[in-house]
């Protein structure tokens, strides 16, 4: 592994006292921990006798990773059918390392071994484990099967039912062991709610519909409400509105009518609500104003926004929309007045930027305001640099390596350094997640050191996670915005003529560099590709996609995702609209562009109708801005993000 990690390891092991487990020289340390590495490698290669030998040699001397050695040796003993020795190792691990990051792994493996020879012990262990980890349905399913095998049928049915009601991946197997049709209406409702929570909307709808006839009066309304919610989530808005009407859920009925395009009925429902007594009612009235503005009825829109500007729930937002309506209709003196009032009361770079734009379009000089904004680090700072034609301030790379001395007294960091040097990926992930979850007990210097080590080892997600617990500074900037998977990103940028920093920005905001990321909508991997998108463009990048596992492949995911981003940018001649298309779909974005004829790209970004998409575009552009600050930024890097041309009809 990288020499820098080796240097950190040596410094940590020499500089920090280890008490009774002191290691006095780097060469002895290297030799000792090679036994651990070789033992793990032998275990992976199914050379179990060698694994036991190497791990035993490792444990003969004081060390910092005895818990990992005990776990791995127990697995080797189990494979050699020496189960009592395996159990002994696991019990020693639990006794000597009660706070180990692998304590749950040890308990799970002990259960696995005991299940083979002492089921009664395994059952007790499972019950103890499930008490602390009630959401582990895989183990609960195994527990239910063990109870069944031990003639505890009633207890077994109870556990199978509990798994089934969760609606999770294990529920399908649990269904084989229960009579689902005999479940109580209350249990069916619980399962349906869990299915909705796991985005399995159609299943929830079907099960509720099938059992609605036998739901008692006390539960009938809840059945109908959850059918309505399942329909809403499936975008069956018209039918959802009817079901919400039956339950008296006026807010959701109105939202469904709006989404269904039944605007006359929406206005009728919204007008009957009191915006001063209910925040949801106030939100609906605000939506009415947006509807009229987007349909060019400016007077009606302003009238509605004006009626809400003193509202306790949406007053600030209503005042923003008054100013925004003035701006979009060319009333720049009025928009300046409203934005100035908002900024005086609330502050914020958003209001300040649109004050500057109002001045600019009113033929006044906004330079001072743009300069004030440009020294920031958010989306509006990026826009202001573009307006000024200036270069973002460079973040010095040397700052990353400057720490306030070596962290003292934190054994976990020494453990992490050793695992990084040994290059044992799963153990590195386990250890770094443990450190991140206990971040509050470490000083900043220790957290920074751990984040740097993980970044050096290409563990970008974990490094970002740790650095996110630190106060932002130039030293943490490079950890928060890593140039991850550089070789593949650079290849994609070269092949598809796209800025590599834009690729990195999309990866960071889509997945935070989590290679196995999976979204509720089914998007996969670093760049969150939908399976159909991956299949559609795999040929263009000369890669084969034979299944989901191929989409998770780092190289394939980056190449296909980068090609898709590049194609959108080339087709739309505009980075922000391409990003909006990547998130919401290009056909939707074209409709927005055609409907509202924006005069400038910043207007489009601020006015994106989908809140999620608007935030996404701003996040990616802010991240791109931060990446440009690492690479001797120039005017081209900034103008690339905001220089836009109208897409030609032939390209659609």
Distances (CA, A) of 508 to 504, 524, 552, 627: 6, 14, 16, 11
Helix axes 332-346, 349-361, angle to 10 degrees: 160
* CA-CA-CA-CA dihedral for 568, 573, 576, 581, to nearest 10: -30
Predicted local distance difference test score (pLDDT) of residue 3 = 45
DSSP letter at 181?
A: G
Helix, strand, coil share of the chain (percent; to 5): 75, 0, 25
Token pair belonging to 114: 């005991």
> Given a cut of 50, is residue 649 above it in pLDDT?
no
The model's pTM is 0.87
Chain segment 120-177, per-residue pLDDT in tens: 999 999 999 999 999 999 999 999 999 999 999 999 999 999 999 999 999 999 999 9
- Residue 374 tokens read as 């440009």
Over the chain, what is the mean pLDDT?
Answer: 91
The pLDDT assigned to 175 comes to: 96
* H-state helical runs in 375-499: 379-388, 411-422, 425-437, 444-456, 460-467, 474-480, 486-496
| pLDDT bracket for residue 61 (50, 70, 90) | very high
Read off the pLDDT of each residue in 356-363 and give the average, rounded to a whole number. Answer: 98
Position 117 confidence tier, pLDDT thresholds 50, 70, 90: confident
Which residue, among 436, 438, 444, 446, has the nearest Cα to 406 in the 3D structure? Answer: 446
Distances (CA, A) of 100 to 43, 65, 449: 21, 10, 21
Half-sphere exposure for 463 (CA within 13 Å, toward CB): 25
Give pLDDT, residue 312: 97
User: How far is the C-alpha of 637 from the C-alpha of 642, rounded, in Å?
Assistant: 10
Nearest to 575 by CA among 318, 444, 382: 382
Residues in the chain, how many? 652
- At residue 396 the predicted structure's pLDDT band, cuts being 50, 70 and 90, is confident
pLDDT digits (tens, 9 = 90+) for 340-352: 999 999 999 999 9
Instruction: Decide: residue 153, CB within 10 A, 0-12 exposed, 13-18 middle, 19+ buried.
Output: exposed
Q: Which tokens hold the place of 293? A: 């503005």
Q: What's the gap between Cα 408 and its chain centre?
A: 32
Query: For residues 55 and 90, is the Cβ–Cβ distance under 8 A?
Result: no
Which of these, 360, 313, 311, lies nearest to 335 by C-alpha position? 360
């Amino acid at each position: 592994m990288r020499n820098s990690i080796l240097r950190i390891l040596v410094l940590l092991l020499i500089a920090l006292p280890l008490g009774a487990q002191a290691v006095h020289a780097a060469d002895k340390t290297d030799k000792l921990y090679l036994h651990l590495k070789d033992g793990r490698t032998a275990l992976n290669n199914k050379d179990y006798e060698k694994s036991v030998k190497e791990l035993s040699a490792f444990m003969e001397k004081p060390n910092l990773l005895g818990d990992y050695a005990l776990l791995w040796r127990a697995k080797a003993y189990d494979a050699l059918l020496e189960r009592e020795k395996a159990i002994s190792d696991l019990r020693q691990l639990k006794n000597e390392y009660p706070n180990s990051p692998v304590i749950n792994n040890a308990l799970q493996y002990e259960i696995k071994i005991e299940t083979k020879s002492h089921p009664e012990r395994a059952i007790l262990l499972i019950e103890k484990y499930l008490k602390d980890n009630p959401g582990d349905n895989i183990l609960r399913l195994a527990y239910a099967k063990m109870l069944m095998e031990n003639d505890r049928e009633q207890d077994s049915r109870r556990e199978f039912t509990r798994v089934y009601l969760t609606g999770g991946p294990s529920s399908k197997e649990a269904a084989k062991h229960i009579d689902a049709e005999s479940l109580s209406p209350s249990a069916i409702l619980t399962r349906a709610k869990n299915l909705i929570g796991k985005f399995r909307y159609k299943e929830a709808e079907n099960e509720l519909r099938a059992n609605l006839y036998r739901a008692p009066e006390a539960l009938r309304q809840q059945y109908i409400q959850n059918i309505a919610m399942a329909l809403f989530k499936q975008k069956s808005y018209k039918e959802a509105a009817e079901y919400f009407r039956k339950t008296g859920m006026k807010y959701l009925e109105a939202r469904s009518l709006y989404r269904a395009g039944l605007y006359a009925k929406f206005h009728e429902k919204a007008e009957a609500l009191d915006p001063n007594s209910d925040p949801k009612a106030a939100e609906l009235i605000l939506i009415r104003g947006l509807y009229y503005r987007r349909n060019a009825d400016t007077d009606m829109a302003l009238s509605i926004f004006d009626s809400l500007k003193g509202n306790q729930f949406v007053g600030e937002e209503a005042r923003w929309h008054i100013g925004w309506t003035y701006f979009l209709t060319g009333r720049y003196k009025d928009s300046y007045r409203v934005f100035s009032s908002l900024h005086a009361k609330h502050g914020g770079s958003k209001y300040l930027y649109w004050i500057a734009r109002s001045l600019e379009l009113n033929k006044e000089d906004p330079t001072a305001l743009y300069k004030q904004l440009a020294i920031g680090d958010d989306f509006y700072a990026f826009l202001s640099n573009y307006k000024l034609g200036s270069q973002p301030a460079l973040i010095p790379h040397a700052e990353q390596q400057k720490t306030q001395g070596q962290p003292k007294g934190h054994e976990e960091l020494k453990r992490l350094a050793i695992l990084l040097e040994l290059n044992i990926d799963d153990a590195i992930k386990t250890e770094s997640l443990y450190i991140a979850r206990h971040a509050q007990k470490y000083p900043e210097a220790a957290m920074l050191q751990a984040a740097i080590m993980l970044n050096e080892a290409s563990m970008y997600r974990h490094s970002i996670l740790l650095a996110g617990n630190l106060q932002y500074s130039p030293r943490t900037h490079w950890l928060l915005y890593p140039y991850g998977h550089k070789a593949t990103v650079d290849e994609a940028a070269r092949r598809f003529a796209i800025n590599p920093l834009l690729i990195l920005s999309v990866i960071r905001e889509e997945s935070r560099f989590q290679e196995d990321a999976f979204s509720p909508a089914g998007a996969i991997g670093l760049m969150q590709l939908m399976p159909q998108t991956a299949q559609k463009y795999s040929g263009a990048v000369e890669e084969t996609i034979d299944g989901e596992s191929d989409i998770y492949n780092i190289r394939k995911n980056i190449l296909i995702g980068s090609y898709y981003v590049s194609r959108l940018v080339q087709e739309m001649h505009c980075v922000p609209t391409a990003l909006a298309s990547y998130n919401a779909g290009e056909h939707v974005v074209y409709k927005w562009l055609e409907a509202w004829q924006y005069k400038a790209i910043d207007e489009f970004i601020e006015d994106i109708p989908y809140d999620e998409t608007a935030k996404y575009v701003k996040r990616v552009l802010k991240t791109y801005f931060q990446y440009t600050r690492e690479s001797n930024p120039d005017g081209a890097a900034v103008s690339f993000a905001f220089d836009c041309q109208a897409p030609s009809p032939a390209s659609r």
